[in-house]
Structure formats: structure tokens, C-alpha cells
Amino acid sequence: MTQKKRPHHHGNLREALILAGLEIVRSEGPDALTLRKCALRAGVSHAAPAHHFNGVTSLRTAIIARGHRIFAQSMRDALADAANRSATSPKEQVTAICVGYINFAQTHSALFKFMFQPHDQDFTKIDAVTSDEIRRDAGRSYEVLRTACHPLGTTEKERAQVEATIWSMVHGYAMLFGDANSNLGPPRPDRPESIPAITDVLANLNWSFLGKNADSKGNSQE
């Protein structure tokens, strides 16, 4: 009985394949990812990945899960930056997270597209390890926003509404305006200065959502 999981040939192929995939997405774009390319980059034969991933969908999902770690970290970093500037009101915290959100979408635009592409991941067709990974890592991403939104609602229903509002706004913005070469969104007249900043967009929200004051400083987590 092995106390440590020490695979035989490669060492840790599963990890290597995920990293190879991230690199391919980064350098060649979201549509360039291929099972065989990942295998080649990891230095194994084209059919080797089958022993670690149920299929290409599983590999893609695992890459997305890994992307979520960077994504969540980007939001946490922005939150920490805001805290260093003493911007700790719920409104300021949520705004900071959105800035981190958009920052990730711009800095890792190919990965962002890859992650939030509508993929038909029949969760049933994904191996248990990867399925757990995506659930955990994507959940942690959402948890960052969820925590910051918490003080903005009193009941669970209210909080769900606030979360949906912020999440929709920032995600839509990222999709439509986040990437300079985005082909979605409104047809832009080649004037990138006509794109408002995420903070300008967020300013159009009614921040005193449901009676509570979003500007009160301090940690109001119950």
C-alpha cells in the first residue's frame, strides 16, 4: 500500500497536462487547446492522458478549475489592495473585487474566455477527481464575491439578489468590454476611450440596495 501517490513513469502527468494546457491556452488562444498538444508538451504519447482524464472534456474542466485559483487570487489581491488604502466599506470591498475580476479578464484574456465559454460539461461524464476540483475551485471564486456582498442584504433572498446583481454586472462587463479584441458586445467605433471603466459602470448601481447603508465602514459580517 503506497503511502504517497508516486506514479510510475512520468512523475505527475496529471499536473503536467494541466500546466501544459494553461500554457497552450495562454499562448495560442482558447480554441487551440488539444488533447494531443497537451500530451506532446508534457512529453508523453497522445493516448497517455486517457489514464488521468475521462476525455478531453475532463481535461478542459481541470484546466478551468486551475484557472479559478488564479482568478480567485486576483480578486483577493484587489481586496487586499483596497484594505491597504483603508477602503473597507462593503461598497468599496465589492468594487475592489470587481476591479480584480476585470483585471483577471484583461491580464489572462485567453484563459478567461476559455473558462467562461459555454461548455457542455455533462458532469456525469467527468471523472470524480476533476468534478470535485471544479466544484471546489469555482466555489471558492464565487465565495470571494459572496462574502463581500453579505453585508448588503439582510435576508438570504436579499443577498441572492445582491450577488446576482453584482455578478451579472461585472461578468457582463468583462465579456463585452473586458477584452480589447472582444468581438462580442456593441460594435465599437474604434474609440477605446469610449469604453467606460468598470468603476463608472458600478457607480450606476443603487448602492443603498435594500435600506442598509453600503458606505458604513468596518466588518459587518454577522
Partner DNA sequence: GATTAAAATTGACACTGTCAAGTTGCAATG
Partner DNA sequence: CATTGCAACTTGACAGTGTCAATTTTAATC
Q: Give min distance, CB of 217 to a second copy, in A.
A: 21
Q: For residues 51 and 54, what is the distance between their CA atoms, to the nearest angstrom?
A: 7
Rounded to 5 degrees, φ, ψ at 207 are -75, -20
Q: Contact positions toward a second copy, by CB under 8 A?
A: 29-31, 113, 116-121, 123, 135, 138-139, 142, 146, 157, 160-165, 167-173, 175-177, 182-187, 194-196, 200-201, 204-207, 209
Pick what 185 binds: a second copy, DNA, none; C-beta below 5 to 8 Å, kind-dependent.
a second copy
Pick what 71 binds: a second copy, DNA, none; C-beta below 5 to 8 Å, kind-dependent.
none
Cell of 121: 460539461
Q: Give min distance, CB of 102 to a second copy, in A.
A: 11
Q: For residues 148 and 9, what is the distance between their CA atoms, to the nearest angstrom?
A: 45
Q: Are 17 and 39 in contact (CB under 8 A)?
A: yes
Q: For residues 102 and 177, what is the distance between their CA atoms, to the nearest angstrom?
A: 9
Pick what 30 binds: a second copy, DNA, none; C-beta below 5 to 8 Å, kind-dependent.
a second copy
The nearer residue to DNA, 56 or 205, going by C-beta atoms, is 56
Sign of CA dihedral 100, 120, 179, 37: positive
Rounded to 5 degrees, φ, ψ at 198 are -60, -35
Q: Contact positions toward DNA, by CB under 7 A?
A: 1-2, 6-11, 13, 33-37, 39, 44-48, 50-52, 55-57
Q: Which residue has the cell 472582444?
A: 182
Pick what 171 binds: a second copy, DNA, none; C-beta below 5 to 8 Å, kind-dependent.
a second copy
The nearer residue to a second copy, 52 or 113, going by C-beta atoms, is 113
